[in-house]
Amino acid sequence: MNKFHQPAGLGRDENAIEWAARKLYTLLGFGALPLLIGHLLWRGFRQPAYRQHWAERFLGLARASELPVGVAFGEVPNRQVLWIHAVSVGETRAAMPLVIRWLEKGENFRVVLTHTTPTGRETGADIFSRWRSSNSAGRDPLIQRYLPYDFPWANSAFLSWASPTLGVLMETELWPNLLAQAQRRDIAVVLINARLSPRSARRLSQFSWLARPAVARLTGIAAQTESDAQGFLRMGDSTPRVEVVGNMKFDVEIPKESAHLGERWRTVFPGRRIWLAASTRDDEEAEILGAWKRARSGQQIESRDLLVIVPRHPQRFERVARLISDAGLISLRRQALDTITQDRSTNAIEVLLGDSLGDMFAYLCFSDLVLMGGSIPALGGQNPIEACAVGRPVFFGPNMFNFQQIARLLRESGAGCEVSNYGEWITRGIVLLGDSQALEQRSQASREFARHHRGATSRTDEFLTTILRAGH
């Protein structure tokens, strides 16, 4: 494939059809406003952060104390404002090296970082706290916002306020009205870390009347794999320039404080074998706990085995705590780890509930092996790259369709193992934990797998720089 594929553009008839399709899309969205508001209110009961910043979500408005980014930044020659949209936690962590590279270029560079979920916003606030420390309102090098819902008025207000030099969307975020408004303002927007799972490809095909013009408005696509790139190119001659750069999530850095925290937890549970079920979803915890109890009854699981469950969504923490209680297992919650020390009482703990945000690397460093949540039920799985970076043997189910290529590469490299159910995870895990040499080989394979695929952030940065130099 050529490094860049120049778009042919939409014809006059196609533009007319796209305009009508987008109007219909907007009308349907406007009609769904009561459902959207109800959804936020319902989520807000379980996660209060959903009840905040509605002016940003629905109107694209800044806070009263915030000047437009361009005004707050001042009339500085060659100023550059990068707007990057990172939906939730995974995308925010993946964007971290790129954002830091941009900010470290100098005082003429700023970032507007947008999110969709409160957990993504909280993660960003934690990761980039040192870039948000100035005393002047609106003058920090990095500003966080919610990306407004895809209504023309909200997108117009947001883009007028942000005034980005370049817009960056991550993975599969294609919003027709947003891209139309950006094009109207001559703002280049690119899709980075772009991927097309079979499910996403089917969805885009079903809504090609909206998806194809949206893709055509992108200035470029930095795809994770050749397969992803070909999927976008199959959308037609109007597809913009495409380049395969790899997956930025491989460039994640292990925070030193997380590694130290995981090591400290080890001192609380000396001699224990730590089994981590990471990013669990949709009550799959009940089945994990059931399999754990059956293995214990069959004397497969020993008293030194400790199960750690980390739910993906914080609004489910209490629900999972009840599931553990109903299973009749002795448990401990994350908050207690801040003050607890090793004593006889910790020897009796059977399950640790990881009910905290921002601690995933600590849980990984604490563990001996990892099961990726959402991969045994048909939920698409979760990103196993962080577990590999820490050097943990990774287990996953047959439904990793959101990470299909990574799952295949994990199997081929020996860094990962596919299991069909939770009982098989326990059976295979016991065999692995009982063979120190095999455990070390699997751990080394995981580290090598993560190391081998690094470098996408540098290639993505070069991709963006090329677009900026070309004047898009």
Q: Is the pLDDT of residue 198 over 80?
A: no
Catalytic residue (choose from 18, 56, 91, 171): 91
Q: Which amino acid is at 324?
A: I
Strand positions, DSSP E, 78-203: 80-85, 109-115, 142-146, 166-170, 188-194
List phi, psi (to 5°) of 73.
-75, -25
207 — pLDDT class (breaks 50, 70, 90): confident
Of 404, 408, 365, 405, the C-alpha closest to 388 is 365
d(CA 398, CA 377): 8
- Per-residue model confidence (pLDDT) at position 172: 87
**pLDDT digits over 63-74, tens only?**
655 656 655 555
Q: Is the pLDDT of residue 76 over 60?
A: no
| 171 assigned to active site | no
2 — pLDDT class (breaks 50, 70, 90): very low
| CATH number belonging to the domain at 12-246+455-469, selected among 3.10.110.10, 3.40.50.620, 3.40.50.11720, 3.40.50.720 | 3.40.50.11720
Q: Is the pLDDT of residue 87 over 90?
A: yes
Tokens representing 143?
A: 């500003």
In the DSSP assignment, the letter for residue 471 is T
8 Å CB contact between 384 and 394: yes
188-194 and 331-333: which strand pairing? unpaired
CATH 3.40.50.2000 domain position(s) in the chain: 256-452
For 214, residues 6+ apart whose C-beta sits below 8 A from its C-beta are 174, 175, 176, 179
In the DSSP assignment, the letter for residue 356 is -
**pLDDT digits over 240-259, tens only?**
889 999 999 999 888 899 99
- Per-residue model confidence (pLDDT) at position 10: 52
3-class state of residue 343 by DSSP: coil
Q: List the single range of 15-24, 95-104, 353-362 with lowest mean pLDDT.
A: 15-24
Q: Would you say the C-alpha torsion 104, 105, 106, 108 has a positive or negative sign?
A: negative
For 278, residues 6+ apart whose C-beta sits below 8 A from its C-beta are 310, 360, 363, 364, 370, 371, 372, 373, 382, 387
Query: 217 forms bridges with which residues in the sheet?
Result: none
How far is CA 170 from each of CA 138, 160, 309, 457, rounded to the nearest angstrom?
25, 21, 28, 13
Please count the other Cβ atoms lying within 10 Å of the Cβ belonging to residue 76: 11
Q: Is the pLDDT of residue 337 over 90?
A: no
**pTM, two decimal places:** 0.83
Query: 372 forms bridges with which residues in the sheet?
Result: 278
d(CA 236, CA 246): 23
| CATH number belonging to the domain at 256-452, selected among 3.40.50.2000, 3.40.50.720, 3.40.190.10, 2.60.40.10 | 3.40.50.2000
CATH 3.40.50.11720 domain position(s) in the chain: 12-246+455-469
Instruction: Name the helix (H) or strand (E) containing 352.
Output: strand 351-353
Q: Is the pLDDT of residue 379 over 70?
A: yes
For 392, residues 6+ apart whose C-beta sits below 8 A from its C-beta are 276, 364, 367, 368, 369, 370, 443, 446
CA atoms within 13 A on the CB side of 459: 22
Cα-based angle 38, 42, 47 (whole degrees, multiple of 5) = 135
How far is CA 461 from each of CA 38, 97, 108, 226, 246, rounded to the nearest angstrom?
40, 10, 17, 19, 12
d(CA 113, CA 159): 13
**pLDDT digits over 135-176, tens only?**
444 568 899 999 999 999 999 999 999 999 999 999 988 999
For 242, residues 6+ apart whose C-beta sits below 8 A from its C-beta are 1, 4, 5, 220, 221, 223, 229, 232, 233
Tokens representing 62?
A: 């800044």
d(CA 431, CA 31): 56
